[in-house]
């Protein structure tokens, strides 16, 4: 079956995670994506397990893309980008605001050579806000958005950053939504679009606890709670009061609260009774059967390694295999899109730095072999290397 975005060309100038993740998803959906890297390559080429000259982190975010290597510090580098941008649909970048323009490849520069171009610019604080020039990684936005402080308050622990780049991944996904909306808009009206995506905006709009702040009411914890249980901890989702009522009604849990107890003591006693109920089962299977009879939503507290071995992950082939460039395969996480009448998924392995210089410049930039030779001699185009 065909892929939904076949025929779209995407020039990915972004680095590390937010932009490359959006590019990887566009590739999985069928777009032809080429990653443009500086002479030193994307910094993630050195992150994780390196096999046959390519790291695991780079593979995960850039599998299926072609790769070219261009030095934007040289004037001829600007010429290369202009030649490519004239014949692509989408450009992705996540430099600090102003960097692209200083190199002559900003929105106004590229729009002048391609009025139908769609450019996605991901930044920490927006393209023209009062803090636009600040460097911003995911951890900075986790702190600035209130996420770290809130988690510390509710957990009664010192503030720490989560082991997950939430701001980057959310920005990549919202960038993907915006790009696809811009494609539809262009097909209706024929004009391109510059998308200004702020990671701070993204963190705040994806915060389902925002209503407590905006309504100026006390914060309460929702979601799941972890309990000790036979075979390891288990998480149960729902308000404690409703869980308590269910366990009393369906499983006969007794309320140990003494008469005249304060509210805090009543809560403490009931929580103790619930914890004792969890630990009262001889094995995990019996506990899970009891939770299922109550129709309570529960989850195993798995390690990340175990998560990829869950029945659902295995059945849905969440870990896909791609060429490791050495005659074997390595695993990457598959994109989650499943269509009834279209195909999707990682389309190939990762590329070496500058591996597709000539074919992309000939195909997209419509440049002659002599012109490409001149760019290489100038140093603006860096010949492909196995790294």
Bridge partners of 26, per DSSP, are none
Q: What is the DSSP code string of 347-368?
A: -S----TTTTHHHHHHHTS---
Question: Burial of 126 by CB count in 10 Å (0-12 exposed, 13-18 middle, 19+ buried)?
Answer: middle
Query: Look-up: residue for tokens 């808009």?
Result: 185
In sequence order, the 6+-apart residues with CB closer than 8 A to the CB of 27 are 10, 33, 63, 64, 65, 346, 347
55 Cβ contact list (under 8 Å, min separation 6):
44, 45, 46, 47, 48, 49
Question: Within the chain, where are the H helices?
Answer: 18-28, 56-62, 75-85, 99-102, 107-113, 138-144, 147-155, 166-189, 199-205, 210-214, 240-251, 263-279, 284-293, 304-307, 311-315, 357-363, 369-378
* Angle at CA of residue 354, ends 353 and 360, nearest 5°: 135
- Give dist(CA 201, CA 154) in Å, integer: 23
Please tell me the distance from the alpha carbon of residue 59 to that of residue 33, in angstroms, as a whole number: 14
Residue 176: partners with Cβ closer than 8 Å, 6 or more residues away: 22, 25, 26
Determine how many CB atoms are found less than 10 A away from the CB of residue 52: 16
Burial class (CB in 10 A: 0-12, 13-18, 19+), 242: exposed
Q: Which residue among the candidates 32, 71, 168, 201 is catalytic per the annotation?
A: 168
28 is catalytic: no
Please name which of 165, 160, 161, 298 lies closest in space to residue 225, comparing C-alpha atoms.
Answer: 298
Count the helices and strands in the chain (H runs, E runs).
Answer: 17, 13
Could you give the residue numbers annotated as active site?
168
């Amino acid at each position: 079956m065909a892929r939904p975005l076949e025929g779209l060309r995407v020039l990915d100038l972004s680095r590390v995670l937010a932009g490359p993740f959006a590019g990887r998803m566009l590739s999985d959906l069928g777009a032809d994506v080429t990653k443009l890297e500086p002479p030193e390559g994307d910094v993630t080429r050195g992150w994780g397990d390196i096999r046959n000259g390519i790291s695991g982190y780079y593979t995960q975010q850039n599998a299926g893309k072609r790769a070219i290597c261009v030095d934007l510090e040289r004037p001829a580098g600007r010429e290369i980008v202009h030649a490519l941008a004239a014949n692509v649909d989408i450009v992705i970048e996540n430099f600090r605001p102003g960097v692209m323009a200083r190199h002559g490849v900003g929105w106004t520069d590229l729009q002048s050579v391609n009025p139908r171009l769609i450019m996605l610019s991901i930044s920490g604080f927006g393209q023209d806000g009062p803090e636009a020039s600040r460097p911003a990684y995911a951890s900075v936005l986790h702190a600035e958005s209130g996420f770290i402080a809130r988690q510390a308050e509710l957990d009664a622990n010192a503030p720490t950053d989560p082991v997950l780049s939430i701001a980057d991944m959310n920005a990549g996904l919202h960038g993907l939504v915006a790009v696809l909306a811009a494609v539809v808009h262009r097909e209706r009206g024929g004009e391109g679009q510059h998308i200004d995506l702020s990671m701070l905006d993204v963190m705040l709009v994806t915060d389902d606890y925002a209503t407590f702040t905006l309504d100026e009411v006390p914060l309460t914890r929702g979601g799941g709670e972890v309990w000790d249980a036979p075979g390891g901890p288990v998480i149960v989702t729902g308000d404690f009061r409703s869980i308590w009522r269910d366990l009393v009604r369906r499983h006969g849990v007794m309320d140990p609260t003494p008469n005249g107890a304060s509210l805090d003591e009543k809560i403490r006693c009931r929580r103790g009774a619930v914890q004792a109920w969890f630990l009262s089962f001889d094995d995990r299977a019996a506990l899970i059967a009891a939770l299922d009879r109550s129709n309570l939503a529960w989850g195993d507290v798995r390690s990340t390694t175990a998560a990829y071995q869950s029945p659902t992950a295995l059945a849905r082939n969440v870990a896909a295999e791609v060429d490791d460039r050495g005659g074997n395969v390595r695993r990457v996480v598959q994109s989650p899109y499943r269509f009834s009448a279209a195909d999707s998924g990682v389309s190939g392995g990762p590329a070496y730095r500058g591996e597709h210089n000539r074919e992309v410049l000939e195909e997209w930039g419509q440049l002659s072999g002599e012109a490409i030779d001149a760019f290489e001699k100038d140093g603006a185009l860096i010949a492909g290397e196995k790294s």
